[in-house]
Amino acid sequence: MKSIEIIVPKMLIKHHLHHPENYGESLVELLNGMVTDVYTNDKGYLFTITNNLKLIEYLDRNSVQEKSYVLSNQRVELCTIQASDSEMCLGWMNKEIKEKDLMYFLDDVRLYISHAITHNSHLFVVKKEGLPVGLVGYNVVSQTGILNLDIFFHDTITHLDEDSVLKLLLHHIKQEHVNTSLPASKL
């Protein structure tokens, strides 16, 4: 059978693994235990090129809509990161680098964003009064939730705002993972 290019829904991915070959982007382990290599297209979707009939059938049968969230309270808003946020993130990430010869490129950020959302992880843009000020995300690994908060505009966000961000994120994680994979004691 001839190989085909097929979209790999991020919600079917348990986690990304290092690709053993220089030209590869990433290996992923799927929820059913299958492993395949993936690449990011220009729209930020992950795809694989395969002739494995079981994999093709699994991906076709389980083509699910990408999850996108907007979480908010009176202080802040968390919006699922999108491919369209790449240039903004590139500016933020390069602003934080101390050694100017170690700059990020748009392709680096595009891969970062395309790999940030899986069944066990999610990344959000933090907004204060509608303006993007940072990133917050989580990754569930071995029954433990790992949180990451990066604020790039410290003068526009307070400690109360940061607490609000973390409370929103923890509430989201509990809704999405406590009943399925993450014990509440690990949050």
Helices 106-115 and 86-96 meet at what angle, rounded to 10?
110
What's the pTM?
A: 0.87
Residues 112 and 56 in one domain: no
Band (16; pLDDT cuts 50, 70, 90)? very high
Strands 46-50 and 26-30: unpaired
Q: How many domains does the chain have?
A: 2
Q: Is 38 exposed, middle or buried (0-12, 13-18, 19+ CB in 10 A)?
A: buried
Per-residue pLDDT at 164 exceeds 60: yes
175 alpha carbon, distance to own chain's centre: 17
Q: Are the C-beta atoms of residues 170 and 150 closer than 8 Å to each other?
A: no
Q: Is the pLDDT of residue 140 over 90?
A: no
Q: Are residues 91 and 44 in the same domain?
A: no
Query: Which domain CATH number covers 85?
Result: 3.40.630.30
Residues 26-56 have pLDDT tens digits of: 999 999 999 999 999 988 999 999 999 999 9
pLDDT in tens, 72-86: 999 999 999 999 999
Check whether residue 9 and residue 86 sit in a common domain.
Answer: no
